[in-house]
Amino acid sequence: MPASSTGRPGSGLLPIKPPRLGPGDQIGIISPAGPVERVELETPIEILESYGYGVQVAPHVYERHKYLAGDDEVRLKDLHAMFRAPEIKAIFCTRGGYGCLRLLDKIHYKLIKENPKIFLGYSDITALLAAFHVRTGLITFHGPLVRELGVKKKTNWDGLLESLSTGVPQQMSLKGTAALIPGKASGPLMGGNMSLVCHLVGTPYMPSLEGCILFLEETGEAPYRLDRMLTHLRLSGQLDRLSGLIAGQFEKCGQNPAIDELLMDMFSHVHYPVVTGFPIGHGSKNMTLPVGLTAELDTDRMTLSIPEPWVR
């Protein structure tokens, strides 16, 4: 798919905002990565319905094929069917795990571009968030997974659903974070799970990071593996022309001071702001970020602002 002549960072295409989520709209649930048990979704579906939305569970959501939620064909079939169905206004993913990379070269991107919808997930879903934006310009959403929607994590969804339904611009407080390198930055938000971002490098589905605010999160990786991934991104030139960097939560990856020390080792020479400890990722708090929308990072005011509506 040819890029537009705008030269816009990220996808190179004009951004496509999905229509907003309205009262009574239908939300489609898919499992494009790892398998999920039926019992894991019972409470989350009830909670989504309590918000006033209809919920349609894709036919193959509960399938299992080794470490995947069904083989590639059925996971792809559910994905395409949800974008094709006119009554579905948003598509939420059940869990991460592994499997999305296997789908990237088989996806019908023209179908997605012609039927833009809210698409939400994180972790392994990072691959789909990036690929959809690169190949179509669709603004996608790095945020909670369906199986995590319970009473204890309901607050992650309150603000998210408000943003997806009202379209009100957002200003997020950086209280509780740390500015390793202070400053101000503006640019499209790009990123997600660090290992997935690394695996996209060298493929047609890796967004251009030039002028972007890159956000990264990870879970269950030893410090030397984080070092390896950051070094790979540095050596491949991905960190050279960023506008800013936001480090999210690094759950079960070692102590936070050690993570910050690694980040300073990698980024001490850069001239853009670096913030650590932002509440995105596998921790208890997982704020949603719109992939592809321009944000403003300001460590003087300790805010991350997204001045335009997320949806249309």
Which tokens sit at 245?
Answer: 């960097």
Q: What length does the chain have?
A: 312
- Which residue among the candidates 11, 31, 60, 123 is catalytic per the annotation? 123
The strand pairing partners of 97, in sequence order, are: none
Distance between CA atoms of residues 282 and 288, nearest Å = 12
End-to-end Cα spacing for the chain = 24
Q: Which amino acid is at 73?
A: E
Q: Which of 22, 36, 103 is nearest to 311 (CA)?
A: 22
Strand order in the sheet with 88-93: 54-57, 26-30, 88-93, 118-121, 140-142, 289-291
Sign of the alpha-carbon torsion through 99, 101, 105, 111 = positive
Q: Is 63 a catalytic residue?
A: no
Q: Is 282 a catalytic residue?
A: yes
- Which residue among the candidates 217, 218, 221, 296 is catalytic per the annotation? 217
- Which residue among the candidates 60, 133, 142, 282 is catalytic per the annotation? 282
Catalogue the active-site residues. Answer: 123, 217, 282
